[in-house]
Structure 1
Amino acid sequence: MITCYLRYQLDPDKLADFEAYGAMWLELLPRFGGVHHGYFLPSEGESDVALAMFSFPSLAAYEQYRKDASTDPDCQKAVAFAKRTRCFIRYERSFFRPLFPKTTA
């Protein structure tokens, strides 16, 4: 399993637009075999940072998602929405592998 961690720098005046953008991907990503773990939005005080995490069974599955999503009309609409609204300024993407507790048999 591979988990993608996204850190967004937001335009705080466009938080509603960012929420709409995130809602689109919460529905889109599972179509491509991923599991979305959610978006995490600013809550207390002033903040311009949001986080998101999603997982795929493997890096190859993630790469296939990227390929397929690039030509999917609904994904293209989501990307166009972000460009049009400029709801985030930039983002960083990192990949992780989970370490789960050992189970006793």
Structure 2
Amino acid sequence: MITVHLRYEIDPEKLADFEEYGRRWVRLVDRFGGSHHGYFLPSEGDSDIAYALFSFESLAAYERYRTDSATDPECQEAFELARTTGCIRRYERRFLRPLDGGR
């Protein structure tokens, strides 16, 4: 299993747009065979940092998702939402593996 950890720097004035972006990707990742663990939004502390976690059974499955999502119309709409609203300033992606296979 591979888990993707995303750290977003967001525009706090556009939190509603980012929430919509997140709702779309939870559904899309699940549709592409992944397991989305959710988006985690600012509460206390930094107002411009958010996180997301989702997993695929393997790095190969994740790569298939990346390839397929690049041409999927719904995925392109989600990317366009972020681009046109400017709700995401930047993001970082990390790949993690669970200890003992996640048991």
Output the TM-score relative to the length of structure 2: 0.94
- Say if 2:72 is the partner of 1:65: no
| Alignment coverage as a number of residue pairs | 103
Separation in 2, partners of 1:102, 1:65: 21
Letter in 1 for 2:22: G
Gaps of at least 5 residues in structure 2 are none
Structure 2 SS opposite 1:61:
helix
Gaps of at least 5 residues in structure 1 are none
Instruction: Measure how far apart 1:86 and its partner are.
Output: 0.6
Structure 1 residues 97 and 80: alpha-carbon distance in aligned structure 2, compared to 1, 3 A threshold:
same
Separation in 2, partners of 1:30, 1:2: 14
* Higher Cα Rg, which structure: 1
Separation in 1, partners of 2:7, 2:69: 20
Instruction: Measure how far apart 1:100 and its partner are.
Output: 4.3
Question: 2:2 is matched with which residue?
Answer: 2
1:43-54 mapped onto 2 (5 Å cutoff): 43-54=43-54
Structure 1 residues 102 and 56: alpha-carbon distance in aligned structure 2, compared to 1, 3 A threshold:
closer
Q: Identity percentage over the alignment?
A: 63
